Chain A
Amino acid sequence: DTGVSQNPRHKITKRGQNVTFRCDPISEHNRLYWYRQTLGQGPEFLTYFQNEAQLEKSRLLSDRFSAERPKGSFSTLEIQRTEQGDSAMYLCASSLEGWSTEAFFGQGTRLTVV
């Protein structure tokens, strides 16, 4: 296991289209997070899973965004009816359960909505 893997690395889509990103966490990690990063800003929290349960969602996650982690392993993040403001780097991270555990990030999926 070489780390958190995200696919695709880049996605260009037309406004109004739906897109789906995939994240494969480090295999023994039961926590999985999605963050979004725009230029000049730090990553912003979107949502978090513990195993298959989605335990927390940010107010940034509008109704057009949905995330799943059906078997507690990989996760998908879908954006419906994309808008230009959705253009960003979408980062996935995973961690073990525990207070003092660090999150390990994938390389991200860069979304460009044209």
Chain B
Amino acid sequence: DQQVKQNSPSLSVQEGRISILNCDYTNSMFDYFLWYKKYPAEGPTFLISISSIKDKNEDGRFTVFLNKSAKHLSLHIVPSQPGDSAVYFCAARGETSGSRLTFGEGTQLTVNP
């Protein structure tokens, strides 16, 4: 039962352009969403989060959008930089799932110079 799904295993963009990573979830009890970035041989690093009472959160080049009715969120990176190349994980938690995070499968982003 994959409650958080990232349907694109990989994404390739040119440096300076926008990267859009997508995530869908099925559990309507999820109320807090996070994006993590992971480089090879390292643990995931927290990037940005959003609560279900908002539909947008922005931090520098990173913006997360939440569409509760569609159970969809997306991460926008603009402008994309080669150093952004990593695996991006979407994660969610909610009242019924306690403190545990449920992760998607990840999307490998490659930013080409």
Structural contact, A91 and B100, CB atoms closer than 8 A = no
Given A43-B89, A48-B98, A107-B43, A102:B103 Cβ within 8 A: no
| Interface residue range, chain B | 20 to 34
Given A42-B103, A100-B32, A102-B49, A55:B98 Cβ within 8 A: yes
Residue of A nearest to B42 (CB): A107
Residue of A nearest to B91 (CB): A42
Given A33-B99, A48-B98, A56-B98, A41:B105 Cβ within 8 A: yes
Given A91-B43, A99-B32, A107-B41, A45:B100 Cβ within 8 A: yes
Residues of A close to B102: CB separation below 8 A: 45
Looking at the assembled complex, report how far the CB atom of A3 sits from the nearest CB atom of chain B, in whole angstroms. Answer: 9
Residues of B close to A58: CB separation below 8 A: 100
Structural contact, A105 and B99, CB atoms closer than 8 A = no
Residues of A close to B34: CB separation below 8 A: 102
Structural contact, B46 and A56, CB atoms closer than 8 A = no
Of residues 1 through 33 on chain B, the ones whose CB sits less than 8 Å from some CB of chain A are 4, 6, 9, 32
Q: Taking beta carbons and an 8 Å cutoff, which residues of B are in contact with A? A: 4, 6, 9, 32, 34, 36, 41-46, 49, 51, 89, 91, 98-106
Q: Give 13 CB contacts A-B under 8 Å.
A: A42-B4, A42-B105, A43-B89, A45-B100, A45-B101, A45-B102, A91-B43, A91-B44, A93-B43, A104-B46, A105-B44, A105-B45, A107-B41
